[in-house]
Amino acid sequence: MNSKLTFVLILLVTLLAVVTPAIAEQPRPATATSVAPKPGAAKPGAAKPGAAKPGAAKPGTSESTAMSLVVSPAWLAAHLDDKDLILLHVGDAEAYRAKHIPGARYLALSDLAIMMQPDGGLHLEMLPAEDLRRHLEALGISNDSRIVVYVGEDWLSPATRVVFTLDAAGLGARTALLDGGMPAWVRDGHTVTDAAPPARTGKLAPLTMQSIIANATTVLSSLGKPGFVVVDARDKTFYDGSATGNSHEHKHRTGRIAGALSIPFDSVFDDQLVLRSLDDLKARFAKAGVAPGDTVIGYCHIGQQATAMLFAARRLGHPVLLYDGSFEDWSLFHPGYPVETATGTAPDKAPDKAPDKATDKTAGKAAERKP
């Protein structure tokens, strides 16, 4: 082999040694089965940044304790053994002792409210924060608890009053109502028991009470104010003035807070205690005169029935306030505040100390049987 041919061969080998690695390092072209993702694009099926997949939250995180406002019997059955679950049975104590959902703790409404003011004034008022915290801890509730409230039979508004109280205590994001209550649980074929769970004491940090309680001054100033609506949740007969509420001691004023709208508490759940659909609720609230985004201030006789209506308002995304004193306070302590009936303005003078508690406490239990 002559020297020229040798030089050419050496040159070719050198070129191949340099070019071959460069070719091997070129990116592979995208194919139908291997598509290079665009920068910042999520892979198919991947969660968006900041969005947690259902059930994917780690124990102890805020996502793990977050609740839907309403849960189904199927959801409860799947989570019944969760260590952080607190299940609260609201209803008759004797009925609870006979049967309840396994693991449920009995809760009397009187445990979470001032049932009667010591001066003979208002009924069913919110407890002070520290008293409320103590009672909640006695139920086993801790900072990381998830709480499900259910009605034992067919008296619904005490259960929604409990849900509202937990929301006021800053626990609303971790509290849900069992849709349909224990009757729905039984209809779905789940078991009940008469065995009470062992006592359990929770540990709560000092409560951060939410500003969702209104007084009479707030209600009066909100009448006709853009973005606010005052809604009467009592039966229509009390709203239009064809019936008058009363307590054991006093008759109260006839009619409604002047300018209030009407959404009866028993119209937002069906006769099986199931919350009506979103479309149905939207139509009912719109027909009553509630606009999207309005803050709904609810009242009833003493602040119990209104919580059922406010629960539905929360489900629709409305900010809500409860006039805790309700028509009892308006009638008993504010005789100059306006009241009207279906036929016009009622007399401003209030009857002699006329608290309006009948339909929430005595006759109300019968009237509220089929919400």
69-125 pLDDT, tens digit per residue, is 999 999 999 999 999 999 999 999 999 999 999 999 999 888 887 666 666 667 777
Closest Cα partner for 161 from 289, 262, 307?
307
Closest Cα partner for 226 from 290, 162, 177, 175?
290
Query: What's the pTM value of the predicted model, to 2 decimals?
Result: 0.76
Residue 5 carries which side chain, given as an amino acid letter?
A: L
Place of tokens 């999207």: 292
DSSP-derived secondary structure letter, 34: B
Confidence of residue 30 (pLDDT cuts 50, 70, 90): very low
In this predicted structure, the answer to whether residue 297 has a pLDDT above a threshold of 60 is yes
Choose from 31-40, 47-56, 343-352 the range with maximum mean pLDDT: 343-352
In this predicted structure, the answer to whether residue 147 has a pLDDT above a threshold of 80 is yes
Closest Cα partner for 238 from 363, 89, 75?
363
Task: Give the tens place of pLDDT for each residue, 190-236.
Answer: 999 999 999 999 999 999 999 999 999 999 999 999 999 999 999 99
In this predicted structure, the answer to whether residue 183 has a pLDDT above a threshold of 50 is yes
Looking from the CA of 114 toward its CB, the CA atoms found within 13 Å total: 16
Q: How far apart are CA 114 and CA 269, in angstroms?
A: 27
In this predicted structure, the answer to whether residue 243 has a pLDDT above a threshold of 60 is yes
Looking from the CA of 80 toward its CB, the CA atoms found within 13 Å total: 18
Closest Cα partner for 123 from 306, 262, 247, 240?
247
Q: How far apart are CA 253 and CA 191, in angstroms?
A: 47
Average pLDDT over residues 319-348: 86
Q: What are phi and psi of 214, to 5 degrees?
A: -110, 150
Q: What are phi and psi of 155, to 5 degrees?
A: -105, 95
Closest Cα partner for 198 from 139, 153, 247, 149?
139
